[in-house]
Amino acid sequence: MKIPILRIPYTDQSLREVQSGIAAVLRSGQLAAGKYVGEFEERFAEFCGARYAIATHSGTSALEIILRAIGVQDASVIVPTNTFIATAFAAISAGARVIFADCDPEDLSLDPDDLERKLEPDTRAVMLVHIGGIISGKLEIIRRICARRGIHLVEDCAHAHGSHWNGASAGTLATAGAFSFFPTKVITCGEGGMITTADEGLYREAVILRNHGKNPQRAAAITGFGYNWRMSEFNAVVGVEQMKRAHEIIGERQEAARFYDHHLEKIPGLRALLLPAGVGSTYYKYVAYLDSSIDRNALKRTLRDDFEVQLTGEVYATLCHQEPVWEETCYCGRQRNSRAARACCRTPFRRTSFPGAEQIAAHHVCLPLYPGLSQRELEYVVASLERALAQTACLSKEHAAVSGS
């Protein structure tokens, strides 16, 4: 039985709706910023319980727009090192200097103790990334830290469509949230992003920035330095279809996660990552920790070659501060040895320890999880995982014995 990394299933009804919508867009002649983008925004705002939703052409641009709107230029932004590089790049593109912070292995999220240590007088924003769809169990502590210093808390919700914390949805827990609709995401329309916020001023600024700085309240006069960050009507057509099925899509993901929760307890060599109290996840990833003796790469090879089960990529195996881009580039985006970089980044390359994030990066795997996984397929994944772990553990013991002889 083959278990691929990902499937994106569409029902016949979904395909008909998308085809009909694309035909309607083509007939209308309005290929961008039309009725489908507006409908997608309305449906997504209702889905999240957000006051405003602003569609963009990517999750990265959604992050950058938020940071530009709150004014991070020539300031610093705290970014957890356990995240995709886009989180840091969005801050740098908005004119900020990035300060990386450690993460907590129990929820994959920002470590509030290290956050306190990393704050500087010019820190303007803190990025809270809901890795794998898991919201930090220490959210209230992080909120208090930000409130005490007058710092904006911004949610990177690329993994967290529909996840919630004590009944409140991701995207409504801070100044603003940014979502991605890349093909791997919980809700997808191929490419695209969405900003959610309750802040009217930020909403109005975001609308201006995403459309070359055109101000709709001043007859489209240019009042800001924006870019072409608009979403196309074609992406929005698919997004509207996805929103109609959002609860069904999420329900299937959560059902598969419950299966893993129940069956992984009996398998030696790994443990499932438990959700913090009060947190509900929509499981962009299903994360489990391996025993330190298990070679992750060997396990993945065994699953792929012997059982035809492909595990997804980790979140993340390479931490953001470890990417080779920083060998030549400062955390403000300037060339490392330039005079401007030295003036901006007073300690740009200090060797900081990230023990929590390093533990996350080294010891976790992500199991197959997407809509359409059958009970039989889930049973096969678990059985294959148990056998592969046993094989890998034996190989590790043999290697240790040879090394010690």
Mean pLDDT of 114-132: 97
Closest CA to 193 of 49, 38, 63: 63
Where do the structural domains in the chain lie, given as residue ranges? 12-245, 246-315+357-404
State residue 287's pLDDT score.
Answer: 98
pLDDT mean across residues, the chain = 93
Mean pLDDT of 148-167: 98
The CATH number that domain 12-245 falls under is: 3.40.640.10
Mean pLDDT of 158-171: 98
pTM to 2 decimal places: 0.94
State residue 10's pLDDT score.
Answer: 87
| pLDDT tens for each residue of 204-261 | 999 999 999 999 989 889 998 999 999 999 999 999 999 999 999 999 999 999 999 9
| pLDDT tens for each residue of 297-342 | 999 999 999 999 999 999 999 999 999 999 999 998 888 777 666 6
Looking up tokens 């046993």 gives 390
Among the ranges given (98-107, 140-149, 222-231), the one the predictor scored with the smallest mean pLDDT: 222-231
| pLDDT tens for each residue of 382-391 | 999 999 999 9
Closest CA to 235 of 169, 297, 279, 191: 191
State residue 382's pLDDT score.
Answer: 97
Q: Does residue 401 register a pLDDT over 50?
A: no
Percent of the chain with pLDDT over 90: 85
- Residues 281, 43: contact at Cβ < 8 Å? no
299 CB contacts (<8 Å, ≥6 apart)? 290, 365, 388, 389, 392
Looking up tokens 């034996």 gives 394
State residue 31's pLDDT score.
Answer: 87
pLDDT level of residue 348 (50, 70, 90 thresholds): very low
Q: Does residue 8 register a pLDDT over 80?
A: yes
Mean pLDDT of 132-153: 98
State residue 338's pLDDT score.
Answer: 72
Q: Does residue 190 register a pLDDT over 70?
A: yes
* Domain pair 12-245 / 246-315+357-404, same fold: no
* Domain over 246-315+357-404 is classified CATH 3.40.47.10: no
Q: Does residue 83 register a pLDDT over 80?
A: yes
Q: Does residue 178 register a pLDDT over 60?
A: yes
Among the ranges given (101-105, 107-111, 136-140, 327-331), the one the predictor scored with the smallest mean pLDDT: 327-331
Looking up tokens 């957000």 gives 50
Query: Alpha carbon of 252 to those of 3, 11, 257: distances in Å?
Result: 16, 14, 9
Question: DSSP per residue over 94-143, as a string?
Answer: TTPEEEEE-EETTTTEE-HHHHHHH--TTEEEEEEE-GGGPPPTTHHHHH
CA gap 189, 343 in Å, rounded: 42
State residue 391's pLDDT score.
Answer: 93
Q: Does residue 352 register a pLDDT over 80?
A: no
State residue 346's pLDDT score.
Answer: 55
State residue 108's pLDDT score.
Answer: 98
State residue 288's pLDDT score.
Answer: 98
- Residues 185, 158: contact at Cβ < 8 Å? yes
Q: Does residue 396 register a pLDDT over 60?
A: no
Cis, peptide link before residue 52, omega less than 30° from 0: no
**What is the three-class DSSP state of 269?**
coil
CA gap 129, 53 in Å, rounded: 19
State residue 402's pLDDT score.
Answer: 44
Mean pLDDT of 194-199: 98
Q: In the numeric block, which tokens belong to residue 333?
A: 């985006």
